[in-house]
Amino acid sequence: MSRARGKHTERHVPGVSEVDEGPEARDVGASSRTQGIPSPIPGGRPHLLNPPTIRQNVPVADAKPEIRGVNAHGVLPGTHTTRERAEFMRGPNDLKPIVPHYRPGDPREPVVPVRVVQEASTTIRAAAPHHITLNASTGEPKRLCGTDPNRVEVLLLNEDASSNVRFAYEIGGLSGGGGAMLAKAMTSYLRLSTQDELWALSADTGTPIVSIIQVFDKPVV
């Protein structure tokens, strides 16, 4: 047969009914052994696809009925839940800070804070005793003590039994019989809280003796 013989003739394709298992049927996908008859591609096999997946939800069981058999006294069953009963007995379920309670005199009681506002003392209390014989009222006044910022107080005693003494914080205060009096025959010291000087003079013609004690806050070296 020449090559041009079938040029103008129609090619015959056998069907399944004609040749079920022939090689020509298998070439065009018409064999009963192929999946999907006919195949969209001559001689090919259709691809197998996975079946669509159906998402399964986890079944949720029905909630069990709440037990209402334990109710408060005098309350009919089923009128409230156990949570409502609990809040009725102990109060709402909220934050309740615990406040400690202590017995009287308990050492764990809060201590009142103390703030140090002054440094420790660096001084000692000291006394300087001495005595002075005063002039008569016609003489010059004598100074009993001078000015001292560290002095705390001055103690004065008139030792004379017959003459009174006048004293002041300045000389001019004794003119014309001025100043205060230290009575004669004193039995106790007169205490004066002063840091200034003191001057004294006899109130008459006698020359009395005055004992003086100066009290100081002496700095510690």
pLDDT of residue 39: 52
pLDDT of residue 66: 63
pLDDT of residue 63: 76
pLDDT of residue 73: 59
Amino acid at 194: T
pLDDT of residue 16: 43
Helix residue ranges, H only, 22-124? 23-27, 82-90
| Cα–Cα distance measured from residue 196 to residue 84, given in angstroms and rounded to the nearest whole number | 83
Amino acid at 101: H
Name which of 205, 212, 213 is nearest 162 in CA terms: 205
pLDDT of residue 34: 47
Amino acid at 65: P
What SS3 class is residue 86?
Answer: helix
CA torsion angle for 118, 121, 122, 126 (degrees, to 10)? Answer: 140
Burial class, 46, CB count within 10 angstroms (exposed 0-12 / middle 13-18 / buried 19+): middle
pLDDT of residue 44: 61
pLDDT of the chain along its 221 residues, tens only? 555 555 555 555 444 444 445 555 555 545 455 444 555 556 666 666 667 777 888 888 887 776 555 555 555 556 567 777 777 777 777 777 788 777 776 555 566 777 766 666 688 888 999 999 999 999 999 999 999 988 999 999 999 999 999 999 988 889 888 899 999 988 999 999 999 999 999 999 999 999 999 998 887 76
pTM: 0.45
